[in-house]
């Protein structure tokens, strides 16, 4: 952070404002990352400046191993082809702002502007995770009901989230060569708090209560509430809910392996806080009473990365089950 000499009068107001902007941006960036659940699971891409609003990513396809031995006099033995699948991230801007009256700022014991920065930072976290969730939902392989072969309309109150769902999903992931996350070598499951309630309610020998305390990770991810059957369990409020029938609601969760989706790096393109003080609105604020506080994500986008691979090394699935609380 730059240092300033405030013993001089020239430009001191501008220097104070610059320090405030740095402070607000630091608060926003820290708070943004504290609340993100989906984003840390993504593969992040640094997008070069002045390179347009689209960014192409590629993934090389898997090469199947061989059981054929090399012949000593054959130089072409084992020759295979390298293929690549591509996808494009489109970067867009996102933001929200709050109006604050000069009177509210003067009469409130706390800084309304600083509190607004915190509230908007939380909203930015929601924006990022909602964009990630929407992309996953649009590209996921569906797993509906306890056995994975139901329809959303047929979900009943008995279709609660259970360890059996995770056991089945772990086998499905393994058979499809889904790659686990390197940090702990487990898959990730992002679920609704009500679904976690049903897992906690399971007191069987192979249930959550008896298994979740085993093999805890050295580094806890945002929203992590335990692990079970090769899955690290994360909780998020940004889960889609659908009313099926009276008394039955379907909750969409996401199970995924490493690099199931990608997005623009927020470390490389951080959140920006913009504060306009009272009087800066000109004719739209003739009495100089209105201030605004805004956050802006200057360029963000999300893309699914399974890219149609036959034996996808990344895989996402949605599971809709009811809540029996």
Q: What does the pLDDT read at residue 184? A: 67
pLDDT recorded at residue 125: 95
Give the other-Cβ count within 10 Å of 227's Cβ.
24
Predicted confidence (pLDDT) per residue in 302-320, tens digit: 988 864 443 344 444 444 5
What pLDDT does residue 317 have? 47
Which range among 182-191, 204-213, 254-263 shows the weakest confidence by mean pLDDT?
Answer: 204-213
DSSP 141: E
> Residue 93: pLDDT band by 50, 70, 90 thresholds?
very high
- Which range in 16-20, 213-217, 265-269 is most confidently predicted, on average pLDDT? 265-269
Position 214 scores a pLDDT of 43
Locate the DSSP E strands across 265-309: 272-276, 290-300, 302-304
pLDDT confidence of 1, banded at 50, 70, 90? very low
**Residue 187 bridge partners (DSSP):** 231
DSSP 212-247: TTSS--SSPPTTEEEEETTEEEEE-S---EEEEETT
- Contacts for 112 with CB less than 8 Å, ≥ 6 apart: 100, 104, 105
The number of angstroms, rounded, from the C-alpha of 321 to the middle of its chain's C-alpha atoms is 21
pLDDT in tens, 94-109: 999 999 888 887 777 6
pLDDT band for position 11 (50/70/90)? Answer: low
Predicted local confidence at residue 75, as pLDDT: 72
DSSP one-letter code for 181: B
CA dist 243 → 8, 15, 42, 135, 152 (Å): 64, 54, 29, 22, 10
The pLDDT score that the predictor gives to residue 122 is 95
Q: Average the pLDDT over each of 222-226, 245-249, 319-323 and give the range with the smallest value.
A: 319-323
3-state helix, strand, coil in the chain (%, to 5): 30, 30, 45
202-216 core/surface letters (b: 16 or more CB in 10 A; e: else): beeeebbbebbeeee
Q: Are 262 and 46 in contact (CB under 8 A)?
A: no
| Region 107-113 average pLDDT | 76
- CA 218 to chain centroid: 21
- Dig out the tokens for 68 from the structure: 């054929």
Max avg pLDDT among 57-66, 106-115, 154-163, 227-236: 227-236
Nearest to 47 by CA among 77, 90, 8: 90
| pLDDT at position 126 | 95
Q: What pLDDT score does 217 carry?
A: 53
The answer to whether residue 76 scores a pLDDT higher than 60 is yes
pLDDT at 205: 47
| 294 Cβ neighbours under 8 A, 6+ residues apart | 95, 96, 97, 98, 120, 273, 274, 275
């Amino acid at each position: 952070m730059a240092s300033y000499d405030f013993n001089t009068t020239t430009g001191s107001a501008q220097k104070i404002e610059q320090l405030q902007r740095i402070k607000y941006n630091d608060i926003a960036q820290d708070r943004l990352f504290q609340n993100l659940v989906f984003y840390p699971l993504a593969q992040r891409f640094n997008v070069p400046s002045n390179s347009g609003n689209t960014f192409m990513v590629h993934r090389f396809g898997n090469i199947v191993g061989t059981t054929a031995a090399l012949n000593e006099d054959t130089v072409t033995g084992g020759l295979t082809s390298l293929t690549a699948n591509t996808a494009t991230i489109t970067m867009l801007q996102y933001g929200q702002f709050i109006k604050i009256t000069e009177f509210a700022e003067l009469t409130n014991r706390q800084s309304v502007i600083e509190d607004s920065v915190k509230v908007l930072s939380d909203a930015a976290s929601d924006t990022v995770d909602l964009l990630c969730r929407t992309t996953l939902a649009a590209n996921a392989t569906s797993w509906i009901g306890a056995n994975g072969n139901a329809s959303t309309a047929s979900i009943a109150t008995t279709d609660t989230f259970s360890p059996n769902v995770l056991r089945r999903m772990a086998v499905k992931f393994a058979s499809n060569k889904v790659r686990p996350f390197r940090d702990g070598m487990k898959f990730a499951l992002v679920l609704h708090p009500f679904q976690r309630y049903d897992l906690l309610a399971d007191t069987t020998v192979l249930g959550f209560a008896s298994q979740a305390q085993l093999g805890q990770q050295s580094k806890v991810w945002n929203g992590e509430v335990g692990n079970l059957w090769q899955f690290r369990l994360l909780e998020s409020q940004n889960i889609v809910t659908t009313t099926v029938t009276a008394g039955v609601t379907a909750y969409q969760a996401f199970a995924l392996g490493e690099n199931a989706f990608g997005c623009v790096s927020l470390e490389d393109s951080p959140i920006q806080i913009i504060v306009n003080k009272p009087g800066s609105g000109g004719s739209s604020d003739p009495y100089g009473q209105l201030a605004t506080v805004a956050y802006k994500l200057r360029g963000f986008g999300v893309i699914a990365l399974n890219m149609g691979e036959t034996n996808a090394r990344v895989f996402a699935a949605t599971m809709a089950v009811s809540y029996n609380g």
